[in-house]
Amino acid sequence: MAAYANLDRFYINGEWVKPSEGASLLDVIDPATEESVAQVAIGTREDAEKAIFAARAAFAGFSAASVGDRLALLRRIRDVYKSRMTDIAAAITTEMGAPEAFALSDQAGSGLGHLEATVTALENFEFEEKRGSTLIVHEAIGVAGLITPWNWPMNQIASKVAPAIAAGCTMVLKPSEIAPLSGIVFAEIMHEAGVPAGVFNLVNGDGPGVGQVLSSHPEIDIVSFTGSTRAGVLVAKSAADTVKRVAQELGGKSPNIILDDADLEAAVSAGVTGCFGNSGQSCDAPTRMLVPRGRHDEALAIAKRTAEAMVTGDPHDPATTLGPVISQVQYDKIQGLIASGIQDGARLVTGGHDRPEGLTRGYFIKPTVFGGVTPEMRIAREEIFGPVLSIMPYDSEEDAVRIANDTVYGLAAYVQSGNLDRARAVARQLRAGQVSINYPDWDLFAPFGGYKQSGNGREYADWGLRDYLETKALIGHG
């Protein structure tokens, strides 16, 4: 493993500083080996407040910086980030077990994509609008508390930090404490890019020790949180007393409707691959595949072939398709949900309990497919966050839409059809923040966020920028 600097420091007010006396150390576990590979400092309220006050002190000056200055800063951050891509990817492979090629192209690559998209958005964003004699002005909301997850660390850090910088906000970032290495590399990037002191601050810590301080503190004006719905509820409750803005991207149980005119082989195999990407640890993964009842068994056979062709193992092996899941806690949860699927009467098509054959350590899950899944089963209702697919038969297009919408979540949905007009009509009926038709390319300029218990607010490019802005009306401006 690469040597990491600053593991025992926080980045506050433009410097790497020692934690307070009450701070502790936490082991970083490599999920592929179950071994500790590093120890990071875990902050306290005192550490979090030092960072918050540094951000507050920097806000007046940074929020007054010109758009041109903020653009120049974002471009420098982007360029330094690009030069550190291999370091970021190596950190992500170590901390969450992402296969090396995937860690570079998708994990680290997503952060670069957000930086580039935000530069483009800022180049074209109108901060002022004239309506008669009234001038509408969009200005930075203030100090942002950013709480990011372990499953897509750079995707979520960059999709929050970049628009906050673009808006003129200052910020305190708390990455996930179980995957903190890439966040430390990101802070080094910000320092090298010349981000003014206090504009960006990083404090590692857990939810009760640092996250709760960010969400409740009166000097934080917006808290942007990505994580589980359960934790998101706690963040919102903590933020309520100070009436701060809360942006949340939470859980999902995304349906993938394969209509009867779709190419079943292509649609099912791509759906399995999409569900199992990142070892199934994506909030928008298409985890519920809805297929015509008459072609259910055919779909199971395709899914079985696709799943069994995947290679689960050492993330440093170029042949590996799927790495481990993040932790023992997640491993145990997924195993429990696999057991519930069997107990509830779903058909186990492939995969199942325990590690894949030949693996004796690491949090590896067998790529698992269930068929005959019905809406009341736990595996159809709960977010599993592992490589587990539920295939559900439906009787009609209306039945498919009903099943798809029968969830407390609404982050993403998917529709596959040979008739684009038909797919569009079904997509309009789905209660989700993003609906992807026929597996399109990732769109960094499309708003990302959820309906219902999948959160509120939208991220990516100009949509994310809006979350960090207040709106002021200057009436009689002339």
Looking only at the bridges linking them, the beta strands covering 35-42 and 434-437 are: unpaired
Q: Is 283 a catalytic residue?
A: yes
DSSP secondary structure, 328-379, as one string: HHHHHHHHHHHHHHHHTT-EEEE--SSPPTT--SSS----EEEES--TTSHH
**Kind and range of the H or E run holding 463:** helix 461-467
Count of other CB atoms within 10 angstroms of residue 43? 28
Which of 95, 275, 283, 383 is an active site residue? 283
Q: Are residues 62 and 46 in the same domain?
A: yes
Q: Are residues 216 and 318 in the same domain?
A: no
Which of 49, 95, 177, 249 is an active site residue? 249
Q: Is 188 a catalytic residue?
A: no
What residues contact 67, with CB distance under 8 A and at least 6 apart? 122, 125, 127
Q: Are residues 192 and 334 in the same domain?
A: no
**For 348-361, b where at least 16 C-beta lie within 10 A, e where not — what string?**
ebbbbeebbeebee
The confidence score (pLDDT) of residue 175 equals 98
The confidence score (pLDDT) of residue 229 equals 95
Decide if 395 is inside a domain: yes
Give the whole-angstrom CA distance, residue 325 versus residue 364: 6
Taking only the tens place, the pLDDT of each residue in 363-377 is 999 999 999 999 999
The confidence score (pLDDT) of residue 207 equals 94
Please answer whether residues 404 and 257 qualify as being in contact, where contact means their C-beta atoms are separated by less than 8 angstroms. Answer: yes
Q: Are residues 148 and 268 in the same domain?
A: no
Decide if 105 is inside a domain: yes
Decide if 3 is inside a domain: no
Q: What are phi and psi of 109, to 5 degrees?
A: -60, -30
**Nearest alpha-carbon partner for 74 in 142, 6, 121, 24:** 121
* One-letter amino acid of 338: I
Q: Are residues 227 and 334 in the same domain?
A: no
Low-confidence ranges of the chain (pLDDT < 50): 1
Decide if 1 is inside a domain: no
Give the whole-angstrom CA distance, residue 421 versus residue 470: 39
What residues contact 226, with CB distance under 8 A and at least 6 apart? 147, 148, 149, 156, 160, 248, 249, 250, 283
Question: Domain containing 97 — which CATH number?
Answer: 3.40.605.10
SS3 86: helix
Q: Are residues 170 and 220 in the same domain?
A: yes
Q: What sign has the CA pseudo-torsion 396, 390, 148, 106?
A: negative
**For 297-318, b where at least 16 C-beta lie within 10 A, e where not — what string?**
eebbebbbebbeebebbbbeee
Question: Domain containing 372 — which CATH number?
Answer: 3.40.309.10
Q: Are residues 223 and 262 in the same domain?
A: no
Q: Which residues pair with 444 in a beta bridge?
A: none
**Nearest alpha-carbon partner for 102 in 162, 155, 144:** 155
Q: Are residues 246 and 263 in the same domain?
A: no
Exposed, middle or buried: residue 340 (CB in 10 Å: 0-12, 13-18, 19+)? middle
Alpha-carbon dihedral angle through residues 461, 184, 80, 113, given to the nearest 10 degrees? -30
pTM above 0.85, yes or no: yes
Decide if 448 is inside a domain: no
Looking up tokens 């806690």, which residue turns up? 329
Give the count of domains, the chain: 2
Give the whole-angstrom CA distance, residue 356 versus residue 6: 36
What residues contact 146, with CB distance under 8 A and at least 6 apart? 157, 160, 161, 164, 171, 172, 173, 174, 214, 223, 224
Q: Are residues 199 and 343 in the same domain?
A: no
Domain with 112, as residue range(s), is: 10-250+454-474
Decide if 4 is inside a domain: no
Taking only the tens place, the pLDDT of each residue in 230-280 is 999 999 999 999 999 999 999 999 999 999 999 999 999 999 999 999 999
Q: Are residues 423 and 465 in the same domain?
A: no
Q: Are residues 106 and 208 in the same domain?
A: yes
SS3 198: coil
**Nearest alpha-carbon partner for 460 in 287, 224, 255, 183:** 224
Give the whole-angstrom CA distance, residue 470 versus residue 472: 7
Q: Are residues 24 and 170 in the same domain?
A: yes
The confidence score (pLDDT) of residue 5 equals 87
Give the whole-angstrom CA distance, residue 260 versus residue 247: 38
Decide if 393 is inside a domain: yes
Give the whole-angstrom CA distance, residue 280 versus residue 383: 10
Decide if 292 is inside a domain: yes
Please answer whether residues 264 and 258 qualify as being in contact, where contact means their C-beta atoms are separated by less than 8 angstroms. Answer: yes
